[in-house]
C-alpha cells in the first residue's frame, strides 16, 4: 500500500470509537439514533424481548405504528402451531434498527412500540377470536394507529382488513404459496384458506388493487375467486420468468397511489429457509427475493402489514423466525417511510 495512504488511514481510523467521529453524516446521525441515552447500545440478548426490540407499551395511545402479536391458530387446515409465532419472533435479536438500503432508522421516523397481544375471550372459539381481532384493530384504526402484526394463522388478516377497509376498500400486496380465497370448508368460512375472499365480499378489499405473489402447489381448484374477482395472481413459475424487478413493477402498477396492506405468509418462502410453517410448499421465494421485492415498494401508501403462519416448533434452527423478524422490519421501514402517513 502507498505509505501516504496508510498514514492517512491511520490518522483517520486508528483511535476512532464506534458512534463517534464518523464521516458519512447519514451514518453519524443513524449511530446517534440507535444509541441509548447513556451513549451505549442495549445488549441484544438482554432484557425483556419485544418485537423488533422496540419499547413495550401497555396500549397504543400516542403511537403512529403499533406492533401487535396475534397468537391465534384455530383456523389451520393441517399442522397447528402459529399461535407460538409472536413469542418466537420476539426472541429474535439484532434485526435493525438501521435499514441499510433506505439509510434510515425507522423507529426514529415514527412513534412505534410493541403493544403486546390481542386479548382473546376464548382460546377455543375461532368465530369469537375473529370478532376480538376486528374490535381490537377497529380501535387502532379509529385512533389513526397503523398496525404491524405477527400471527397467528392467516385467518387473522380478514378481521384486520375489515377494520382497515371500513371507510373504503384497501389494496393488497400478498406473498403466499396459496391464494387464500377459498370458500366454506368443513362448514366453516373463517379459516386460514379464505381471508381474502371474505374481505372482498365484505367490500373492504379491492380485488383489482390486489396482487398475490409466489402462488404454487396443488390447490388451484380452491382459488377460482382470485381470478373471477380480478386479482393479479403471480404464480411461482411466472415469478421465475419475470424476475424480482418486473414483479415489483407490476405490484406498484396494480396498487397505484391508494392505501394498501401487506400480508406475508411464511409459506410463500422456500421451505429450506422457512420450514416452520403449517402448510409448506416446495419451490418458494428465496429470502433475498422477498426482501428485495418489499424494498421496491418504498414510498408507497402502505397503511398496515403482517407476517403470519410462523409455527416455530417445526424449525429447530429458528431460521423461520429470523426471516419473519426481518420481513417485519422491512414492513416497519415501509410504514415509517410512507409519506402520506
Ligand atoms: Mn396464507
- Going from the Cα of 108 to the center of ligand 1, the distance in angstroms, rounded, reads 31
Q: Which domain holds residue 11?
A: 1-41
Angle, CA 162 vertex, CA 230 and CA 175 arms, to 5°? 50
What total number of domains does the chain contain?
2
Asked whether residue 20 falls in the same domain as residue 113, the answer is no
In the numeric block, which cell numbers belong to residue 291?
426482501
Asked whether residue 254 falls in the same domain as residue 188, the answer is yes
Asked whether residue 207 falls in the same domain as residue 293, the answer is yes
- Going from the Cα of 271 to the center of ligand 1, the distance in angstroms, rounded, reads 14
284 close to 217: Cβ distance less than 8 angstroms: no
Asked whether residue 31 falls in the same domain as residue 94, the answer is no
CA distances to 114, 137, 167, 299 from 142, in Å:
18, 8, 11, 24
Asked whether residue 55 falls in the same domain as residue 31, the answer is no
Q: Where are the beta strands (DSSP E) in the chain?
A: 65-70, 112-117, 146-151, 170-175, 205-215, 232-235, 260-265, 302-308
Q: What is the pLDDT of residue 40?
A: 81
Asked whether residue 215 falls in the same domain as residue 321, the answer is yes
Asked whether residue 36 falls in the same domain as residue 53, the answer is no
- Going from the Cα of 38 to the center of ligand 1, the distance in angstroms, rounded, reads 43
Bridge partners (DSSP) listed for residue 269: 285
Residue-level pLDDT, tens digit, the chain, 341 residues? 999 999 999 999 998 888 777 889 999 899 889 888 887 888 889 999 999 999 999 999 999 999 999 999 999 999 999 999 999 999 999 999 999 999 999 999 999 999 999 999 999 999 999 999 999 999 999 999 999 999 999 999 999 999 999 999 999 999 999 999 999 999 999 999 999 999 999 999 999 999 999 999 999 999 999 999 999 999 999 999 999 999 999 999 999 999 999 999 999 999 999 999 999 999 999 999 999 999 999 999 999 999 999 999 999 999 999 999 999 999 999 999 997 75
- Going from the Cα of 18 to the center of ligand 1, the distance in angstroms, rounded, reads 42
- Going from the Cα of 76 to the center of ligand 1, the distance in angstroms, rounded, reads 10
Rounded-to-5 percentages of helix, strand, coil across the chain: 40, 15, 45
Rounded Cα distance, 158 and 70, in Å: 13
Asked whether residue 17 falls in the same domain as residue 95, the answer is no
Q: Which domain CATH number covers 106?
A: 3.40.800.10
- Going from the Cα of 216 to the center of ligand 1, the distance in angstroms, rounded, reads 12
In eight-state DSSP terms, residue 145 is P
301 close to 258: Cβ distance less than 8 angstroms: yes
Question: Based on the number of CB atoms within 10 Å of its own CB, is 333 exposed (0-12), middle (13-18) or buried (19 or more)?
Answer: buried
Asked whether residue 33 falls in the same domain as residue 160, the answer is no
Asked whether residue 7 falls in the same domain as residue 108, the answer is no
Amino acid at each position: 500500500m502507498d505509505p501516504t495512504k496508510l498514514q492517512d488511514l491511520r490518522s483517520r481510523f486508528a483511535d476512532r470509537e464506534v458512534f463517534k467521529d464518523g464521516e458519512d453524516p447519514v451514518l453519524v446521525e443513524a449511530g446517534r439514533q440507535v444509541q441509548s441515552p447513556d451513549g451505549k447500545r442495549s445488549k441484544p440478548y438482554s432484557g425483556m424481548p419485544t418485537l423488533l426490540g422496540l419499547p413495550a407499551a401497555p396500549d397504543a395511545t400516542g403511537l403512529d405504528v403499533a406492533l401487535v402479536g396475534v397468537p391465534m391458530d384455530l383456523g389451520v387446515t393441517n399442522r397447528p402451531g402459529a399461535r407460538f409465532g409472536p413469542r418466537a419472533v420476539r426472541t429474535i435479536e439484532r434485526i435493525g434498527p438501521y435499514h441499510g438500503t433506505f439509510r434510515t432508522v425507522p423507529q426514529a421516523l415514527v412513534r412505534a412500540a410493541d403493544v403486546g397481544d390481542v386479548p382473546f375471550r376464548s382460546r377455543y372459539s375461532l368465530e369469537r377470536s375473529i370478532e376480538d381481532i376486528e374490535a381490537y384493530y377497529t380501535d387502532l384504526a379509529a385512533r389513526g394507529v397503523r398496525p404491524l402484526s405477527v400471527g397467528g394463522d392467516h385467518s387473522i388478516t380478514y378481521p384486520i382488513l375489515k377494520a382497515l377497509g371500513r371507510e373504503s376498500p384497501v389494496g393488497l400486496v400478498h406473498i403466499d404459496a396459496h391464494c387464500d380465497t377459498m370458500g366454506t370448508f368443513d362448514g366453516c368460512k373463517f379459516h386460514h384458506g379464505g381471508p381474502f375472499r371474505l374481505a372482498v365480499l365484505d367490500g373492504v378489499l379491492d380485488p383489482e388493487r390486489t396482487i398475490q405473489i409466489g402462488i404454487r402447489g396443488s390447490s388451484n381448484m380452491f382459488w377460482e375467486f382470485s381470478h373471477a374477482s380480478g386479482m393479479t395472481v403471480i404464480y411461482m413459475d411466472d415469478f421465475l420468468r419475470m424476475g424480482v424487478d418486473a414483479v415489483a413493477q407490476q405490484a406498484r402498477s396494480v396498487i397505484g397511489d391508494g392505501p394498501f396492506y401487506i400480508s406475508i405468509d411464511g409459506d410463500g418462502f422456500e421451505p429450506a429457509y422457512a420450514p416452520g410453517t403449517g402448510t409448506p410448499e416446495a419451490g418458494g421465494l428465496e429470502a433475498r427475493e422477498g426482501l428485495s421485492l418489499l424494498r421496491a415498494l418504498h414510498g408507497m401508501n402502505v397503511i398496515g402489514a403482517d407476517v403470519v403462519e410462523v409455527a416455530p416448533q417445526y424449525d429447530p434452527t429458528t431460521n423461520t423466525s429470523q426471516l419473519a423478524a426481518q420481513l417485519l422490519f422491512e414492513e416497519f421501514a415501509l410504514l415509517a417511510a410512507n409519506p402520506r402517513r
